Structure 1
Amino acid sequence: MSTTGSSPELRMVPVDAVDVLNPRERNDKVFDEIVINIKRIGLKKPITVTPRSQANGTERFLLVCGEGRLKAYRTLGQTEIPALIVHVSDEEAFIMSLAENIARRQCRPLELLLGIEQLRDKGYKAKDIAAKTGLTFTYVQGILMLLERGEQRLIVAVERGEIPLNAAIAIVGAGDDDKAIQSALQEAYEAGTLRGKNLLEARRVIERRKTLGRSIQHASPRKREPVTTTSLVRAYQKEVESQKLMVKKAEFTQQKLLFIATALKQLFTDEHFATLLRAEGLDSLPRQLVERIWPGGHAA
């Protein structure tokens, strides 16, 4: 991309005259911190804009960098904001804005995905995207490959550090072969890039990918069955069966407890057994069990 040879001009521009070209969703807590810092110490870094003349002769600006700072100024009721003026085309401003957001690495995983995807759709190759964003060529190339396969769920897992990029690529290469997928996880484990908690997270992501699909944004929601008299009867029957099963389990548990209590009561009548338990420090029992063995509350 090309810009004019002159250095950017720093001047005050009307806050209401700046249009956001590439808006982003922001974390409320982070935004509140930006507002507090600006209110306390002022603006440490000016925003970057490019001028656009209107048909009525007025001048407006496209925001290139600094959306959070601009919104903070608006929140604080400021009418003007310090800005660096650069002279670039609409597309150049859009690319600069995307590259700035990605390079800062403060965006959420899906925003990072969207930024790289938009740069790719603008015709930029992996090498160009890496140079403009500060990301490594290997990382961008791997993400673009996952994008082409529609693997949003794996991309988000990679960006969150749940799965290493090379393991994610191996998982895609394995297709739907569970053994091949497990082999990819095993290789990542042996290489030391996937251990402990991350290994469990990786298995969870793979299971969700299998059941919910590869895409996050376009994952089809489960259809709800309409409520009818038949569905209500079926739900009632299912609940009755569940209650019956619970009662059976409770009765079985009670029978086992009765057997244990009877057996212990007989064993405790054997003085040798009682002496052995005392010698090993095992002569005490839970109060609830004592009450069942000796309803009177004392040992025989």
Structure 2
Amino acid sequence: MEATNMKSVEKNIASVALADIQPSNYNPRKTFDEASLAELADSIRQQGVLQPIGVRPIGENRFEVVFGERRYRASLMAGLETVPAVIYEVSDEVAEEMAVTENLQRKDVTPIEEANAYQKLIESGRHDVHSLAVQFGKSEDYIRTRLKFTTLIPEIAALLETDEITISVASEICRYGEDIQSEVYDRHLKDGVIYGSWRGMKAVDVAKRIESDYTTDLDRYSFDKTLCKSCPHNTNNMMLFCEGSCGKCANRKCLEDMNAAYLVEKAMQMLADHPTASLAYSIFYTCNDTTVKRLEELGYELERLSCRHEDYPELPEAPEAADYETTEEYEEAQRDFEQEQEDYKAECEDILRRSEEGEISLYVLIGNKDLFLGYVENSATNTANGTLSTKEKELTPLEKLEKQDKRNKEIALEKTVADTKKRILEVDATDTKFGADEDKMIYYFLLSYLRREHYAAVGIEDENVYYLSDKDKLRIIENLNGKAKAVIRRDFLISEFQDAPASDAAATLLLRFAEKHMPETLAEIRKGYDEVYEKRHQRIEEKKAVLMVQDKARQEAEQQEEPQPDETPQAEDVAA
């Protein structure tokens, strides 16, 4: 029986054909339990749909579910043709809010579905945490906690959905960024983890483990931590922790960025304070790679020190009167401090003089969490780097700047090449004609396979040349003739044949190549191995013949032992 599209049942409720209804895309409920739907479908077959669904018109005789999608799906399973529905003339925004709100009234709403629903209402711009708390009768802390669940990585969110972890444990985990969450999941919550599993652990214990294993003490860092005091990623601002120190940071990316920004700014200031110094990092100490990269991007040259350095003298610390019991002790400490200042000043002046005269090199050294001054004897630097100390000592400040400028140009080229390598994969050159310049490029790379005995064929007459330099290759490709091209291509093929797997395709090509260039040698090789094969083949054929005779004899014996087809009924007749 064909149902009408919409038949009035009572005021503002209509009977709508299920064929004219479609689900919406903004329903916060994304999964539906099939067994539960089947039970609801059985109930609907017996009693009908007791509560109307909500729909809205989206075209001529077309409707979209606003709320009640579970009843809509169960009605389809039950085989109904129509369903009672309340029809609403509402916009997309209002329909989405109605769907979200109705779903939040369900008893079986999961924490993640609830979190996503609150997030949608916040994003609509018509609600904030306070209004949601009032509308749904929840506390603001409850709403905020649920909203944090939207930051859980999918793997941990799934554990919460299936009750593998508790809401309390999820509340502790969602305080941290995706990087920490991923490590916690892989090491402690993933299926199959036996040793070190955190499943079943209390929330307070999980919180302590994360704080201990995945956060960093801010006291170790020297940058200004004013912003850290109010940061939600500071463990001092987490409910279970209240430390007297700066706290611990749970946002590794932010910590790395703030530390690198501080180190870059400090490096520039130290270079301004010490004009004869250069930037460097030592192989004997851990350096901050992010800082090194940022300084290079700003145009600074950084040296890699492979020798030990001497520490720059430390500025003496002035005494505090409160630290001394008597005035005499304080005055004595003050006199010592003044002498230390004089010694410090003299040491600094001596280092500056030696630096200007080229005896030593002064460096601003990049550490992991801070910068410091150091210097090395130029003889030590040159010995480690394999250069002549006299040459280094002769460099004037102007020559040093020119050397740095040259290195900066090299860095610019290196960065350009590196980025070009990445972007060249995006080029679509399928419709462009292959040019003569590209043909030369091919031969530039093929020259790497050229055998030394063929150097003369490409114009290298010097017998003392044992390998082709880049300069040699560029000169060769500019003067190629047909014979040289053939030699280069064939040496490439021979090299590839040497390394190719012994597959049928590679073997076929190799033998085809050999038939063309060494037919007599190939025939001699084949003859030797073919003779061995024929002898072995003959032995195998003889053995096969023996086995075939034995098999035939065994089959004949088995047939003689079997009863004839007409003997069985005769025996039965006698018995009868």
TM-score (norm 1): 0.48
Q: Say which one has the larger Rg.
A: 2
If asked which structure has higher relative contact order (CA below 8 Å, sep 6+), I would say 1
TM-score (norm 2): 0.27
